[in-house]
Structure 1
Amino acid sequence: MASLHSLSPQGLWSWFETICSIPHPSKRELALRDHIQQWAEQQSIDHRLDRVGNLILSKPASPGMADRKGVILQAHLDMVPQKNAGTAHRFDRDPIRPYIVSEADGDWVTATDTTLGADNGIGMASALAVLADNTIEHGPLEVLLTIDEEAGMTGAFGLEAGLLQGEILINTDSEEEGEIYMGCAGGIDVQLELPVTREALPAGYQTVELALTGLKGGHSGVDIHTGRGNANKLLARFLFGHAFELGLRLIHLKGGSLRNAITREAYATVAVAPEQRAELERLVSHYQGLLRGELAAIETELCFTLSDVAAAEQVFEAEAQRRLLALLHAAPHGVIRMSDAFPGVVETSLNMGVVKTGSDSVQVLCLIRSTVDSGRAMVVNMLQALAQLAGAHCSDSGAYPGWNPDPSSPIMAVVRETYQGLFGSLPSIQVIHAGLECGLFKEPYPALDMVSIGPTIRFPHSPDEKVHIDSVAKYWQLLLAVLKAIPAR
């Protein structure tokens, strides 16, 4: 981590090092939040927790700027915990290990075999660096650090009216320097649960595991349009195509760990008759070659393998297996529709993030995103229809609203003009398909004027996550200039 000390802005990178050193996966952010509170206490910075655990810090205006509109810098405390297969990292115990890598398009910071947490650690670090530096010019300032953004937006859902005084909110959770976000998709979680019954393992059958690994994965909002493979879907495709002809009997199925990350690895434990073993091995090799051909431009490390595992005692009954494989193969995944209102932006998508086998059922966890409420409802209905056909139960939860764009936003104009003045070009004004907390903030604070900015982060929610160093410097320069340019009340 010492290699980050030379990076500029030093205050921001110093905070990011600290953030990386303290485990903070979703629902395990308490240690990091406590550290920030203790620091604030030492620095005599006002701070308080709200009823759900969000941390709010505040700082008076710089000399001569008390008449400016109050600004809230907002970030989330948690990070997505994803790691490469075979990595012993424990996200609840071990620090993230960042390092610098030089590539053709510049220098980046990434992590060793895990997600980096630049989403949203860089934004959090920037807000804390502003609080720590008394030379920065700003009006009345608050920093809102929310909990559990990545696993349910619990902090944003629980934010109460009357706690925040600022009139402007700058969300720091965007992931493309040079783009300003004025809106985002809403989302909803859907769970499909298919009851399964079991019977005795057929006599003489061998037990093997099929493993589809090496996929890139990624953020189900940012990367859903890139054509990256979803291991759950690709494994289901193989099983639906060949389980019946080979007489395979399914024992266990699992893939993915987060509904908002594109699944990188999936595993099926199956029983196979000895006389079909050679043909299964041939088809596994053939399917690996087929997928490597189809996804050659994207999934360069894809592997599909077969290995022996301990013998099982029971397998799924044939009818339960048939319905499950049909459901998994038929369920949609990826882009459902592109936006007409915002060219190049995904309007509606579905990510089949998690498949897991329980004692008497198989659960499938999906995340639907859409900038259009009716589009979100349509995909929920699609899954409900499939569940009816397959004899599964379909339930939805955690719906959160999108952030409706406001083309007349005063803070949008300030950021746009400030960016042009600094860098000599106009930024791109965008709506992002990923879910930001801004839409939820509008319920308790309907008058908030909001904008979202950030540095360039590639492949968030995957172990390939990296942040572009030069873009962090530009983001920081923009943030400070915007704080200075906030108009009077």
Structure 2
Amino acid sequence: MNNLENLEPERVFHYFSEIAKIPRCSGDEKKISDYLKKTGQDLGLETIQDELNNIIIRKKASPGYENSPGVIIQGHMDMVCEKEEGIEHDFSTDPIDVLIEDDFLKANGTTLGADNGIAIAMGLAILEDDNLEHPDLELLLTVTEETEMDGALGLKPDLLKGSRLLNIDSEEEGFLTVGSAGGELIQAILDIKREEVATAYQEVNITITGLSGGHSGMEIDKGRANSLKIALKVLTNLKEKLDLKLVNINGGTKDNAIPRKAKISLGIKAEAYPKLKKEIEAIEKELKKNYPQENPKIILEKSAEIVEVLRDQDLEAVIYLLQKLPTGINNWLKDRPETVESSSNLAIINTETDKIRVYVSTRSAKEKVLKEMRNKITADIEKVAKAKITGHYPEWEYKPESELRNKAVEIYNKMYEKEMEVIVIHAGLESGALKKTYPDLDIISFGPDIFDVHVPAEKLSISSTKRTYNYLKKLLQTLK
């Protein structure tokens, strides 16, 4: 890990370096939660750790700010844990190896965790700064934002005292987010059976790799390749021309990331291998033409003879599901035609002993549209499999009147002499979940430049972090 202590703001990067040492994948936040609890207590501040491991740290107002409405600085402590192929890294024990490259922090072969570690670092730096003038402060750091949003959804209604909330979970400097999509996860559960083959079949492993992936909300409109849809193309093309059997199919790892990799294990007659190889080479050539900004590869590997395969009807059902389950943009906002209103991400397929599970994450700025998508997708699933809905989180609806928004824009414009753009985004933020329990909160979201979140290419701009932190401090000073 490079030494971050020479970077500015020094205390922000100090804390970022410290939390990079602590495992914090979604669902494994106890260690980081305990660290935050101890840090708050060591600062002599009132610190609450609830039963979900959410953390709230309170600091009293500066002199002259005692009668000002309280402000909540909010972020989440979990991160998406992804690594490059061939990288040996155990996210449950190993620290993130943070590197400095020009103006950026990135990780050595893994996700960086700037989403949302930078909110933790800024929040702690603010709390320890006794020279900063501010109203009553609360730092709220939640768990499982990247999966179920259980932390924000499960927050008790009597914990927060402030009425103005600054969410530091946006990823483009100069943009003020004032609304976000809701979403849920739809699962197709297909019962499968294996059967013995009467004649010899050779197992062939087909690995699809080299794709960019990305955040399934923020990058869904970028036209990036989806490894599961490529797997569908491989299966349908080969099935038309070869006698084949399906052994296993797996791909994708996170429901909020566009899948970058998939692996299909097939059984074929040994003499059919040259034809299969030719077909795969043709598909790969077409992919490279269609996705010139990515590096799609299809790797073939022969294996031993096999004696058990999935039934032909299971193969047909898998093809049906991969065809019917949507991925990409569903529709655009009518009053903001440059903004996605609803979308879906065909995210994961896993083969188990007696089941194949396929996961689709859906998002929408409107609950009505989300329900329409759910009804269509589940109807298609239930023709061959069982459907299950999990992980629902609410949208954050745009608020026409907001003193906090107006003040935030005014301050940014004065500080940097350029217009701050007010946007509604097609990603899920905890703001919607928090508004369900605290409906009177006035909320805005902003943050420094972070690129390629949810994939190992993730990087954080150092200079943007400094500007955003200075902006945060100025905003707190003016919120009397």
- TM-score range with shorter-chain normalisation? over 0.9
Q: Distance in 2 between matches of 1:99 and 1:366?
A: 34
SS state of the match for residue 100, structure 2?
Answer: strand
2:352 paired residue among 346, 351, 358: 358
Residue 163 of structure 1 corresponds to which residue in structure 2? 159
User: CA offset at residue 312 of structure 1?
Assistant: 3.5
1:342 correspondence with 2:326 = no
1:133 pairs with 2:133: no
Q: Out of 411, 417, 439, which is 1:424 matched to?
A: 417
Structure 2 counterpart SS, 1:152: coil
Deviation of 1:311 (Å) = 4.0
- Identity percentage of aligned residues: 35
1:11 maps to what in 2? 11
Report if aligned partners of 1:335, 1:348 keep a CA contact under 8 Å in 2. Answer: yes
Relative distance call for 1:260 and 1:131 in structure 2 (3 A) is: same
Cα deviation for residue 406 of structure 1 reads 0.9
Matched, 1:211 2:207: yes
Corresponding residue for 1:68? Answer: 68
In 2, the alpha carbon distance for the partners of 1:55 and 1:201 equals 56
Secondary structure of 1:165 counterpart: coil
Work out whether residues 148 and 393 of structure 2, in 8 Å CA contact, stay in contact via their aligned partners in 1: no
Following TM superposition, by how much is the alpha carbon of 1:168 offset from its aligned partner in structure 2, in angstroms? 0.4
Structure 1 residues 430-445: aligned runs within 5 Å: 430-445=423-438
Write the distance in 2 (CA, Å) between the matches of 1:343 and 1:127: 35
Residue matched to 1:152:
148
Where does 1:276-295 land on structure 2 (aligned, <5 Å)? 276-295=272-291
Displacement of 1:98:
1.3
Distance 1:178 1:388 in 2: 45
Deviations 1:302-359 (A, max 9, x none): 2111102344331111112112112212321011111112231111010111100111
For structure 1, which runs of at least 5 residues remain unmatched after alignment? none
Q: How does 1:186-335 map to 2 (within 5 A)?
A: 186-296=182-292, 298-299=293-294, 301-335=295-329
Letter in 2 for 1:132: E
Alignment-derived partner of residue 472 in structure 2: 479
Q: Which residue of 2 aligns with 1:88?
A: 88
Give the direction of change, closer, same or farther, for the CA distance of 1:275–1:446 in structure 2 (3 Å limit).
Answer: same
SS in structure 1 at match of 2:382: helix
Deviation at 1:208, TM superposition (A): 1.2
Instruction: Give the counterpart letter for 2:406 in structure 1.
Output: A
Residue number in structure 2 paired with 1:52: 52
Residue of structure 1 in register with 2:367 after alignment: 373
My pick for the range that moved more, 38-47 or 449-458, is 38-47
The answer to whether 1:79 aligns with 2:79 is yes
Q: Which amino acid aligns with 1:404?
A: E
Post-superposition shift, 1:202? Answer: 4.5
Q: Distance in 2 between matches of 1:194 and 1:263?
A: 20
Amino acid at match of 1:445: Y
* 1:382 counterpart = 2:369: no
Equivalent residue of 1:203, what SS?
A: strand
Are the aligned partners of 2:191 and 2:354 in contact in 1 as well (CA < 8 Å)? yes
2: CA distance, partners of 1:51 / 1:95: 26
CA contact (8 A) 1:253 1:267 kept: yes
State which of 433, 456, 469 in structure 2 corresponds to 1:463.
Answer: 456
| 1:121 aligned residue (109, 117, 122) | 117
For 2:329 and 2:152, the matched residues in 1 are separated by 26
Query: Any conservation in 1 of the 2:200–2:306 contact (CA below 8 Å)?
Result: no
Q: Is the 8 A contact 1:142 1:166 kept in 2?
A: yes
Letter in 1 for 2:267: A
CA distance in 1: counterparts of 2:285 and 2:329, whole angstroms: 25
SS in 2 for 1:442: helix
Work out the CA distance in 2 between the residues paired with 1:85 and 1:409.
46
Q: Distance in 2 between matches of 1:353 and 1:230?
A: 8
Partners of 2:325 and 2:360 within 8 A in 1: no
Structure 2 distance, partners of 1:118, 1:2, is 15
1:49 CA drift (Å): 1.5
Q: Distance in 2 between matches of 1:147 and 1:66?
A: 30
Q: Alignment partner of 1:4: what SS? A: coil
Count matched residues.
480
TM-score normalized with structure 1 length? 0.96
For 1:161 and 1:385, the matched residues in 2 are separated by 36
Distance in 1, matches of 2:471 and 2:140, equals 19
Distance 1:265 1:330 in 2: 20
Structure-1 residue corresponding to 2:101: 101
Shift, 1:3, TM fit: 3.7
Q: Is the 8 A contact 2:148 2:392 kept in 1?
A: no
Please report how far the alpha carbon of residue 256 of structure 1 lies from its aligned counterpart in structure 2 after TM superposition: 1.0
- The residue type equivalent to 2:211 in the other structure is L
Q: More displaced, 302-311 or 80-89?
A: 302-311
TM-fit CA distance, 1:51: 3.0
